[in-house]
Structure 1
Amino acid sequence: MKILFLDQSGKPGGAELCLIDIAKPYRDRALVGLFADGSFKTLLQQNHIPVEVLTTQKIQVRKQSNFFQAFGSLTQLAPLIFKVAETAKKYDIIYANTQKALVIGAVASFLARRPLVYHLHDILSSEHFSQTNLRVAVNLANRFATLVIANSQASKTAFVQAGGKAEITQVVYNGFDGKLYQTSPAETQKLRQQLGVEKKFVVGQFSRLSPWKGQHILIDAIAQCPPEVTAILVGDALFGEQDYVKQLHQQITQLGLEKRVKFLGFRNDIPQLMAACDLVAHTSIAPEPFGRVIVEAMLCEKAVVAAKAGGATELVEHGINGFLTTPGESQELAEIINTCLQDQQTTATIASHARTTASQRFDVAHINQQIAELLLSCAK
């Protein structure tokens, strides 16, 4: 089975990292077509996955685009659509990994007469998308997709509530290679020394800096914790969100936390940094489609406190393999951090259980087998 994967991004995010794991078993008979150049292309090449940048023209449609903006973008996309359609004739399946890829892939699948698979990595709701984009995504998926793979039950539910067909939708969680999340104690100690947090209780937050990711909630919570509690923020702003970063720095100054909150920017050593933490916080104020960093922290044998919404509630059992907190409630988050600080033995037991359950539930080989069976049924 030969697969043409499509993705809109030049930068690796959660959906792109997921695509790498899915494409690896097919790398001798697949192509990843990108709609932008960048570090994601390099990452695919490092994993020996064939990749081609299909266009250098920026796709203007955004999550909040209205009808006229969306229609105007479609008229500009004709050359890309025809190029994808011609390329797709050499493959058995078109696999659209993002929403913009769905728009291109849907029309191309019709022209090339190839089945379309749409991997849904978003919660399709008005919190994140304009009504126009919601209608476009749902209608294209209903009309052209043979299969929609939702990355959580929360994503599937939102898709169906928006008018998506439940009968073509299957939930398949992201897969992970547990071996990539093993760090030696010596390496962890060295990194903590480099960060200057040897004697601190470190709370890590791993995501892009964005209002809906809720870094400001964590900062407020840190201010309500003892002085030995410090935070590291791993990630940076994207999509014109630099104003939010300025607000975070102002918040830190106002609360007198300059020595207790560290901005580390984008990093490639995420498992090592997670291992250097005592607790990992997920603080999104809107429902998360899946929550990749939650599983990554579990695999690093770290306790996680996650916002109780969306896919996170499918990953974390409160008090069993992690903690759940009300989204946006910094005081509640602070109470959980303080509990973990005061009872580190129980926290370690929860972290150990988290690693065991995550290794079993999200093993990449098992997840890829699920996807392979679904793709095989589409290609028949």
Structure 2
Amino acid sequence: MSGRTAAVSSVVFVTASRDWWGAEESVLTLASAARGHVRQTLLCRSEPLAQRWATEVGPTVVLALDKRRVQRLPRLHDMLWLLRHSRLLLAHDVVVLENFHLVIPGSLVKLVQRRGQRMVLDLHDKISTPRASRVLRWFAPRMDTVISVSDYVAASLADLPVDSTTIYRPVRAPTQATRRANAGRVVGIVGRIDPEKNHPVVIEAVSAAPAHLELVIRGDRADSRTGYRQRVQDLCVRLLPDRHVIQARVDRARAMDGIDILVVANPQEAMGRTIVEAQLAGVVAVVPDQGGAAELVEHLETGMVYAAGDAHSLAAVLTRLSADAPLRAGLVERAYAVASRRHDPATYARAYLGALAG
């Protein structure tokens, strides 16, 4: 990262997530790009995140893993967790909170701000339930600023008295050697196997498109108790008996391997990190016309857009893409140029640190 970034000398990132998703990858990418330009500490509960941070950023991790699983009073537990590490928070210019649902003691917020420090909320989730909306309405106005992952997510703050800015997340581009010719034959869905991802729309669309198309589904099931993964599998067996593969979560570097067309079907996607990963890997991204995903694709320029929730609309897009090699080649070339510029980690780090400084 070159050039002047911002008048911030130290930042502590706080995440209570025990899983590794796009938000955690973004924090790591930011910290790696800003290494040597600002002192950074991570307060987390994720062993994999802590290990990678120590390897790629430095040994400034405070890993607060609980020895027992707390089932009751989780909000109180979050509050005690933050109070236990209040000295760490007070030792930095800026405190960046990665989870809006954390219960921040009001006294701690006031103490941080009275000392001239800033508290920032990194908002990367769509607020889709009344309860989440109530929590955000209490939480956001107490922050000095909010950094949103997309304009779609920022709209959750529209009627709140809070300073907000949108900064799309960074993605590390793969080496040129990993990109390949796009054959337009394999359609992929990458991410959690969860109802909000709307897999049935994609399965139905592929079944209605030319018979040479194949479907690859990659990802962990979010909650085995819902039975959603089994329903997805049953639908694939019925509609695509010999044309589907369901795989477990793979390493992020191999998430796009063998895929020609990535489809996002969630109309409430906060941003859609896999879209950018696809664009940087030579994979055509196809997204719904709603949600944050639509902000990352310009129809017929850097990908294709279809009517959200409409399998017939998606099938028409897949049919056109599979038959038009020059169209695929143009989309891949233009998408790579835009994504590599807009999501460049060094550029992102400068913008993010500038937003932290206010």
Aligned to 1:261: 244
Distance in 2 between residues matched to 1:109 and 1:322, nearest whole Å: 43
Distance in 1 between residues matched to 2:112 and 2:70, nearest whole Å: 22
Distance in 2 between residues matched to 1:355 and 1:275, nearest whole Å: 16
SS in structure 1 of the partner of residue 349 of structure 2: helix
Structure 2 unaligned runs (5+)? 1-8
Aligned to 2:26: 18
Aligned to 1:63: none
| Cα separation, partners in 2 of 1:283 and 1:26, compared to 1, 3 Å | same
Structure 1 unaligned runs (5+)? 61-68, 193-198
**Letter in structure 1 aligned against 2:138:** N
Distance in 2 between residues matched to 1:231 and 1:313, nearest whole Å: 22
Equivalent positions of 1:18-97 (< 5 A) are 18-24=26-32, 25-26=34-35, 29-34=39-44, 36-49=45-58, 50-56=60-66, 72-97=73-98
C-alpha displacement at 1:123, in angstroms?
Answer: 2.0
Equivalent positions of 1:1-380 (< 5 A) are 1-24=9-32, 25-26=34-35, 29-34=39-44, 36-49=45-58, 50-56=60-66, 72-101=73-102, 103-104=103-104, 108-113=108-113, 114-124=117-127, 128-129=128-129, 131-143=130-142, 145-160=143-158, 163-166=159-162, 168-178=163-173, 180=174, 182-184=176-178, 201-240=185-224, 243-255=227-239, 257-268=240-251, 270-284=252-266, 286-377=267-358
| Cα separation, partners in 2 of 1:335 and 1:38, compared to 1, 3 Å | same
SS in structure 1 of the partner of residue 144 of structure 2: strand
SS in structure 1 of the partner of residue 256 of structure 2: helix
**Letter in structure 2 aligned against 1:307:** P
Is 1:200–1:230's contact at 8 Å kept on the other side of the alignment? no
**Letter in structure 2 aligned against 1:253:** V
SS in structure 2 of the partner of residue 104 of structure 1: coil
Q: CA RMSD in A?
A: 2.5
Q: For this pair of structures, how many residues does the alignment match? A: 343
SS in structure 1 of the partner of residue 217 of structure 2: strand
C-alpha displacement at 1:343, in angstroms?
Answer: 0.9
Which structure is richer in relative contact order (CA contacts within 8 A, separation 6 or more)?
Answer: 2
C-alpha displacement at 1:348, in angstroms?
Answer: 1.3
Distance in 2 between residues matched to 1:107 and 1:15, nearest whole Å: 27
Aligned residues with identical type, % of pairs: 21
Aligned to 2:4: none
Distance in 2 between residues matched to 1:241 and 1:359, nearest whole Å: 39
Distance in 2 between residues matched to 1:299 and 1:223, nearest whole Å: 27
**Letter in structure 2 aligned against 1:326:** A
Distance in 1 between residues matched to 2:223 and 2:107, nearest whole Å: 27
Aligned to 1:64: none
| Cα separation, partners in 2 of 1:359 and 1:105, compared to 1, 3 Å | farther
Is 1:275–1:301's contact at 8 Å kept on the other side of the alignment? no
**Letter in structure 2 aligned against 1:288:** E
**Letter in structure 2 aligned against 1:3:** V
Bigger mean CA deviation after superposition, 3-12 or 132-141: 132-141
Is 1:123–1:289's contact at 8 Å kept on the other side of the alignment? yes
Bigger mean CA deviation after superposition, 232-241 or 315-324: 232-241
Distance in 1 between residues matched to 2:297 and 2:184, nearest whole Å: 25
C-alpha displacement at 1:107, in angstroms?
Answer: 5.6
Distance in 2 between residues matched to 1:327 and 1:119, nearest whole Å: 27
Distance in 1 between residues matched to 2:92 and 2:245, nearest whole Å: 47
Distance in 2 between residues matched to 1:19 and 1:173, nearest whole Å: 12
CA displacement, residues 78-118 of structure 1 (integer Å, 9 cap, x when unaligned): 421311322212222111012234x3386633344432010
C-alpha displacement at 1:210, in angstroms?
Answer: 0.7
CA displacement, residues 136-159 of structure 1 (integer Å, 9 cap, x when unaligned): 22222202x111001111111122
**Letter in structure 2 aligned against 1:43:** R
| Cα separation, partners in 2 of 1:176 and 1:134, compared to 1, 3 Å | same
C-alpha displacement at 1:324, in angstroms?
Answer: 0.6
SS in structure 2 of the partner of residue 228 of structure 1: coil
Is 1:6–1:94's contact at 8 Å kept on the other side of the alignment? yes
TM-score by length of 1: 0.83
**Letter in structure 1 aligned against 2:108:** A
**Letter in structure 1 aligned against 2:170:** G
CA displacement, residues 326-370 of structure 1 (integer Å, 9 cap, x when unaligned): 121111111111111111221111111111111122211111111
The structure whose residues are more often helix, as a share, is: 1
Aligned to 1:65: none
**Letter in structure 2 aligned against 1:31:** T
